[in-house]
Structure 1
Amino acid sequence: MSARFFVITGGPGSGKTALISALARQGLATMPEAGRAIIRDQSRIGGSGWHGSDRRLFAELMLQWELRSWHEAQALEGPVLFDRGLPDVVGYLELYEGGAPGHMHRAAEQFRYHGTVFFAPPWRQIFAQDAERGQDFDEAVATSEALQRAYAAAGYKLRPLPLAPVAERARVVLDHIARATA
């Protein structure tokens, strides 16, 4: 386990990326979300590795992204925030394909983050669809539930973030990180 690697997870449109961007502006090291970048790249090259086409390939690409991010974070100093983590890939496949292959579970077991994972719950008031987020709110809720199960199964404790402005959410994360790394 890397006690200085902190994950913020949750379903689509729950405010994770906005929160991580705010924390990055305060000087924290961050690792970006895999899904959006993969969708953009796959769309640009006409590839099938995205949610609306080949979900298994999309999951493999996300797995590789998350592994690379985990390894790259080793070279960074201090706490590192991840916009999603390896158990997200497991949760994604559990939801959409009925299960994830063994190597994905092994990756989530071997490449660890801090034992407490920040969870951004579904939040209808800020949820929005866009070119890369085709899921509706009900699908966001189902994704959120699958992620909670995946992180719990991987042995993590989920800490729900309040449905509150970014500054308040950031304070919750920063206070927890300060206590955890003291």
Structure 2
Amino acid sequence: MNKLILISGCSGGGKSTLLEALKARGYHVVEEPGRRVVEAEQARGGEALPWRDMEAFLRRTLALAIEDFEAARALAGPVFFDRGIIDALSGLQQLTGRAPEDAARRYRYAEAVFLAPPWPEIYETDSARKHGLDEAVAEYDRLAVAYPEFGYRTQILPKAPVADRVDHILSTLQLG
């Protein structure tokens, strides 16, 4: 079984909270690359931000997601990712009409990808997430198509309390 497990889906759909809960249960987690790129760019006054230079942002996010993937290979046991390589590739494909698809073939996560659906009741913006719910839903719709196109089987996460979502993932993966 591939131990690199991806959680993707709608921006503001509770992925980061879910990863925190998995970490609290002792699992390795990898924080969202895009959010880390935004934080680094804001700290240094950079331009590779989704609201300034989306292509530069996506290329940095892709590079960081590949670094994360490589680093996670050395960890024992399952590793849960908050977004990953396919998210960045899908965004680049939509934006530019092309993306380095060889990365999708070279870096494979576990076949089952968990998608957090749009959840308006918990959606919030912040300094790193300035887009509205409509844009988040459009992103979700794009990813729901992209993951199967790249050979992944998607599992929609229930809109449920965090502990129930964690139990759902662990049960699906036969880890808990």
Q: State how far apart, in whole Å, the 1-side matches of 2:47 and 2:98 are.
A: 19
CA contact 1:90–1:150 (8 Å) conserved in 2: no
SS in 1 for 2:120: coil
Deviations 1:26-73 (CA, angstroms, capped at 9, x unpaired): 001111111111111111111111101111111110111111111101
The TM-score, its normalising length taken from structure 2, stands at 0.95
Q: State how far apart, in whole Å, the 2-side matches of 1:94 and 1:15 are.
A: 25
CA contact 1:121–1:160 (8 Å) conserved in 2: yes
CA contact 2:33–2:84 (8 Å) conserved in 1: no
Q: State how far apart, in whole Å, the 2-side matches of 1:100 and 1:39 are.
A: 23
Q: State how far apart, in whole Å, the 2-side matches of 1:178 and 1:28 are.
A: 14
Residue aligning to 1:118: 114
Residue aligning to 1:108: 104
Residue aligning to 1:154: 150
CA contact 1:79–1:177 (8 Å) conserved in 2: no
SS in 2 for 1:170: helix
CA contact 1:91–1:149 (8 Å) conserved in 2: no
Q: Name the % identity.
A: 35
Amino acid at match of 1:37: R
SS in 1 for 2:173: helix
Residue aligning to 1:57: 56
Q: State how far apart, in whole Å, the 2-side matches of 1:81 and 1:40 are.
A: 21
Residue aligning to 1:170: 166
Residue aligning to 1:144: 140
Aligned CA-pair RMSD: 1.4
SS in 1 for 2:8: strand
The TM-score, its normalising length taken from structure 1, stands at 0.92
Find the partner of 2:97 among 99, 103, 115: 99
Residue aligning to 1:69: 68
4+ residue runs of structure 1 moved beyond 6 angstroms? Answer: none
Residue aligning to 1:28: 27
Deviations 1:121-144 (CA, angstroms, capped at 9, x unpaired): 000000011111011111110000
SS in 2 for 1:178: coil
Q: State how far apart, in whole Å, the 2-side matches of 1:168 and 1:150 are.
A: 26
**Equivalences, count:** 176
CA contact 1:117–1:158 (8 Å) conserved in 2: yes
SS in 1 for 2:174: helix
Q: Which sections of structure 1, spanning at least 5 residues, go unmatched?
A: none
